[in-house]
Amino acid sequence: MQIGFYFDQTRCTGCYTCVVACKDWHDVPAGPASWMRVTTVEKGKCPDLFVAFLPAACYHCLEPACVDACPVNAITKQKEDGIVTVDRDVCLGRDECQSCLEACPYNAPQFRSEDNAKMEKCDLCIERWADGKKPVCVDACPMLALDAGPIEELRAKYGDNREAEGFIYSEKLIPSITFKPKKDTKGLAVQRIEIAPGSRTVS
């Protein structure tokens, strides 16, 4: 069984509640490590615009690049639910190695600012499932734009759509995600892309 995410891009308002809820729940301080990050895509020229948001944490891929890339096997994919986790005691630390981050096209691996910070990332709120709860980002979203659960069930319920604005599906890694994308029917040109937190702008 593989747990994954559903994201309804047509409902997302770019409010960052998921980002902050995640940091609060997992006690991640403000700083370069953000388990959840939101990409803002701006297309078109005033006044014909298209704007979409894409929150992304970790897609717990079926064939995760990070697992293969890690030289010390600190990252494992759980057999029972497919959640990809890191053992911080085994991780070499950011100053020694960033192979996982270099391998992941979705920037899921994160490092804090302290010396040789160990890798951390979305763990799909492992401990909440045992309490019968969904990941905190899902419960936090004020627009019901997120869901999580067995990916086959999500695809049966919401459809199997692996495209969304700001997202590139990897056939090789097979991320556990299905979307209701926001569609740019006019095919407008991208003008600005921003990822926050971190305010990484890719214009």
Partner 1 sequence: MDSQKRGRADDQVRTIPTSCTPDCGGKCLLKVHVKNGVIVRTESYEGEDLHLRPCARGRASRQRVHAPDRLKFPMKRVGARGEGKFERISWDEALDTVARELKRVKATYGPSAILYIGQSGSFGLLHGRTAAERLLYLFGGCTNHWGMISCEGPAFASAVTYGFFTTGNTPDDFLNSRMIILWGWNPVEAQRATAPFLKRARDAGARIVCVDPRFNCSASLLADQWVPIRPGTDAAMLIAMAYVIITEGLQDQAFINTYTVGFDRYKDYVLGDEDGIAKTPAWAEAITGVPAAAIAGLARDYARMKPAALVAGWGPGRTAYGEQYHRASAVLAAITGNVGIHGGYPGIVGSLGYMPAQPTLPVPWGCCVMPLGDNPAAHRALPTPFNSWYYSDSGIHHCKVADAILRGKAGGYHTDLKLAYVTCANPVNQYPDSNKMAKALRELEFIVVHELFMTATARFADILLPVNTGFERNDICDSWLLSPPYYIYVNKAVDTAYECKSDLEICGELAAKLGIPDYNEKTEDEWLREAFRSIEAIQDYDYDDLKRKGILEVELPEYVPYKEQIEDPKNNPFTTPSGKIEIYSQGLADLNNPKLPPIPKYFEGWEKPLIEKYPLQLFSAHSLTHAKSQFHNTPWLREVEPHTLWINPIDAQPRGISDGASAKVFNDRGQILITARVTERIMPGVIFMADGAWFNPDENGVDRGGCHNVLTSDEISPGSAFTCNSSLAQVERA
Q: Which residues bind partner 1 (CB under 8 A)?
A: 11-17, 19-21, 23-27, 29-31, 34, 38, 42, 44-47, 49, 51-53, 87-89, 123, 125-128, 130-131, 136, 139-144, 191-192, 196-199, 201, 203
Query: How far is residue 163's CA from residue 19's CA, in Å, rounded to a whole number?
Result: 22
* Cβ distance to partner 1 smaller for residue 117 or 173: 117
* Cβ distance to partner 1 smaller for residue 104 or 136: 136
Query: How far is residue 86's CA from residue 66's CA, in Å, rounded to a whole number?
Result: 10
DSSP 8-state class, residue 41: E
* Cβ distance to partner 1 smaller for residue 172 or 200: 200
* Cβ distance to partner 1 smaller for residue 172 or 202: 202
Phi, psi of 42 (to 5 degrees): -115, 125
* Cβ distance to partner 1 smaller for residue 12 or 151: 12
What is the smallest separation between the CB atom of 174 and partner 1, expressed in angstroms? 25
What is the smallest separation between the CB atom of 172 and partner 1, expressed in angstroms? 29
* Cβ distance to partner 1 smaller for residue 152 or 194: 194
Distance of CA 170 to the CA centre of its chain: 14
Q: What Å distances lie between residue 169 and 61, 105, 161, 193, 202, CA to CA?
A: 11, 10, 10, 18, 19
What is the smallest separation between the CB atom of 84 and partner 1, expressed in angstroms? 14
What is the smallest separation between the CB atom of 170 and partner 1, expressed in angstroms? 26
Supply the Cα-derived Rg of the chain in whole angstroms: 17
The DSSP string of 56-103 is: ES----SS-HHHHH-TT--EEE-TTT--EEE-TTT---TTT--HHHHH
What is the smallest separation between the CB atom of 53 and partner 1, expressed in angstroms? 8
What is the smallest separation between the CB atom of 103 and partner 1, expressed in angstroms? 21
Vertex 199 angle, CA 195 and 203, to 5°:
65
